[in-house]
């Protein structure tokens, strides 16, 4: 019985000592604020400035075409939408204008690639007529590979018959 009483007394003393250590010594050290030295990262500032620059860029312009057609007729709304691209190119001489022709899924991939290029070339000629230098325009065809919506409905196919105008940064 004496051993049980001695064990119980040692256990109670151990509980008091461990509670005192935890509450008075360990807990204050864990709650103490740790000073953190932050060094400004050059990459972060470059990334931030690039994000700010991209936020100022004109939004991509979509010009839609009829089925199996590469004819383009300008209208005042498109003329007004091209003006920010021209202003951007004048302000930032290192940027390029990307004109990408796209098609729907109807037809062979080779034919759609060629039709996409015709659409992009027609829009590029129009942009040159608006005063944008031809050396600043990158003309390419995505054919049927750059779908924005599904090809199941006629409306979906019509939305994929387009030419995209966007800014490319060097």
Distance CA 162, CA 159 (A): 7
DSSP 8-state class, residue 62: E
- Cβ atoms of 91 and 169 closer than 8 Å: no
Task: Specify which residues 100 forms β-bridges with.
Answer: 140, 164
Instruction: Give the pLDDT score at 44.
Output: 60
Q: Please say if the pLDDT value at position 147 is more than 80.
A: no
Per-residue model confidence as pLDDT tens digits over 69-126:
788 777 888 888 888 888 888 888 888 899 999 888 888 889 888 998 999 999 999 8
Per-residue model confidence as pLDDT tens digits over 123-138:
999 889 888 888 988 9
pTM of the model: 0.67
Instruction: Give the pLDDT score at 139.
Output: 92
């Amino acid at each position: 019985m004496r051993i049980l009483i001695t064990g119980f007394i040692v256990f109670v003393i151990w509980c008091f000592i461990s509670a005192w250590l935890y509450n008075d010594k360990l807990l204050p050290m864990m709650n103490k604020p740790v000073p953190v030295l932050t060094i400004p990262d050059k990459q972060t500032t470059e990334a931030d400035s690039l994000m700010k620059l991209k936020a100022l860029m004109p939004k991509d312009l979509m010009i839609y075409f009829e089925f199996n057609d590469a004819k383009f007729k300008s209208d005042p709304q498109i003329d007004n939408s091209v003006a920010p691209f021209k202003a951007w190119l004048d302000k930032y001489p290192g940027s390029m204008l990307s004109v990408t022709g796209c098609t729907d899924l109807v037809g062979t991939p080779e034919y759609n690639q060629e039709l996409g290029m015709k659409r992009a070339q027609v829009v590029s000629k129009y942009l040159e007529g608006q005063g944008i230098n031809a050396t600043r325009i990158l003309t390419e065809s995505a054919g049927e590979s750059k779908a924005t919506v599904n090809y199941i409905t006629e409306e979906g196919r019509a939305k994929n018959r387009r030419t995209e105008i966007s800014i490319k940064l060097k």
